[in-house]
Amino acid sequence: MRLGRLPVDEQVKALQEVLTHNEVLTGVLAGAAELDLPGWYLTAGCVVQTVWNVVSGRSAADGILDYDLFYFDASDLSWEAEDAAVRAGRARFADAPVVEIRNEARVHLWYERKFGVPCPPHDSTESAIDSFAATTCCVGVRVDPDGRWRVYAPHGLSDVFNLVVRPNPVLAPRHVYEAKTARWREQWPELTVLPWP
């Protein structure tokens, strides 16, 4: 049976099982739990691309450029506070591939300079995940101290398992979606990329 046709609760279990095939990802999850950043999730490409790799028969970590670790701390929006978290992550993940640590409470301070459109302030890590350029990438996972996996997936998991990339035109501009999907198609030609509306 295709994983994208499982009931939602079984899809969450299937996601957890698939992600355990990527030892880099599970190592970053363990390290992130130790850092204990507020409201953290491992999210975006590293999660969905692990699924794409496993369901298409590739090595679980193949083609994954970085591991996005997002957290939310509105108590101090200074670069220095975020940099302290980044430095702690560098020390913790010294032997891992690139782990990008970002305080999503600060995104509105730099987003327009980078992407050309303003970003309203996020009120949580979840609201940042909601704004990714593709709904397919709107997935975050974390492991609580008791070992319980938490999955945030506001658009579900069917597209992830079915290799469908769907645009999410709530914030990111069209050119960001098209640049990302062009790169993804080179790595995963099995993807069905839906056009920008």
Residues of the chain falling short of pLDDT 70: 1, 4, 6
Q: Helix 8-19 and helix 45-55: axis angle, to 10°? A: 90
* pLDDT for the residue 7: 73
Q: Which neighbouring-strand residues pair with 141?
A: 42, 151
Contact 157, 185 (CB under 8 A): no
* pLDDT for the residue 8: 76
CA 120 to chain CA centroid, Å, is 20
Contact 150, 19 (CB under 8 A): no
* pLDDT for the residue 4: 65
Contact 37, 85 (CB under 8 A): yes
- Distance of alpha carbon 137 from alpha carbon 29, whole angstroms: 17
User: How far apart, in Å, are the Cα atoms of 24 and each of 19, 172, 181?
Assistant: 10, 28, 23
AA letter at 179: A
* pLDDT for the residue 147: 87
Which residues, 6+ apart, have CB-to-CB distance to 43 below 8 Å? 68, 69, 70, 125, 129, 137, 139, 140, 141
Nearest CA-CA partner of 165 in 125, 141, 137: 137
